[in-house]
């Protein structure tokens, strides 16, 4: 009998934390070191070399869908970006997210909302964090945290773990130059095998 793969180990740990920890903030913090192990596994990085780029333009972005848990509904996604590709400034609505850089580098930006949200289709946001990160870095994105990512000079690969599959609910979008706020559906999910 062969040893479990890094992916199988991560799934087992994530399922255990979902069963044992009722506080989502604590659960997602506890899962971070297990995603770190997955990112450090050489076989995962080797597999990622053949993963297709995910579209970031147009109406909706794309994510590879590696796994959706049948009981706890968390998912494992892949995001592959061409060099110098930027996401829109957005939030993930109610969805907890662990964003781990597997290969390449990115700038991660965080924003804070300055207005009270009472004016429709309007949001004043200000950048509070702009940090360059490389392989192995994990960003824990809590619900409604406003952020964006931009890939560096090389192809960037991320493994994303979400509390539930994105794409079926509305998420916030922000334009700091015009103060425009709108909602859109999250990324399209493209089933893909991760061993």
Domain contains 195? no
* Mean pLDDT value of segment 113-118: 96
Q: How many domains does the chain have?
A: 1
Q: 86: which residues sit within 8 A by CB, 6+ positions away?
A: 56, 148, 149, 150, 151
Domain contains 62? yes
Q: What is the pLDDT of residues 138-190, one digit of tens each?
A: 999 999 999 999 999 999 999 999 999 999 999 999 999 999 999 999 999 99
Q: Do 101 and 35 form a contact (C-beta atoms < 8 A)?
A: no
Residues spanned by the domain of 55:
6-189
CATH number reported for the structural domain that contains residue 77 in this entry = 2.60.120.10
Domain contains 169? yes
Q: Shortest CA distance to 96 belongs to which of 74, 69, 72?
A: 74
Q: What is the pLDDT of residues 1-37, one digit of tens each?
A: 688 899 999 999 999 999 999 999 999 999 999 999 9
């Amino acid at each position: 009998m062969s040893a479990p793969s890094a992916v199988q180990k991560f799934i087992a740990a994530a399922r255990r934390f979902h069963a044992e920890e009722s506080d989502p903030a604590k659960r997602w913090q506890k899962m971070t070191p297990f995603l770190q192990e997955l990112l450090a596994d050489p076989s995962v990085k080797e597999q990622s070399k053949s993963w297709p780029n995910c579209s970031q333009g147009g109406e909706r972005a794309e994510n590879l869908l590696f796994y959706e848990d049948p009981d706890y509904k968390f998912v494992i996604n892949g995001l592959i970006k061409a060099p110098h590709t930027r996401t829109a400034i957005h939030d993930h609505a109610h969805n907890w997210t662990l964003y781990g850089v597997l290969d390449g580098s990115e700038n991660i930006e965080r924003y804070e909302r300055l207005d009270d949200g009472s004016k429709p289709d309007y949001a004043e946001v200000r950048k509070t964090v702009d940090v360059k990160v490389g392989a192995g870095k994990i960003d824990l994105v809590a619900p409604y945290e406003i952020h964006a990512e931009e890939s560096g000079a090389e192809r960037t690969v991320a493994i994303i773990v979400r509390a539930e599959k994105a794409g079926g609910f509305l998420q916030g979008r922000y334009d700091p130059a015009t103060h425009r706020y709108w909602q859109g559906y999250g990324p399209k999910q493209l089933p893909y095998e991760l061993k």
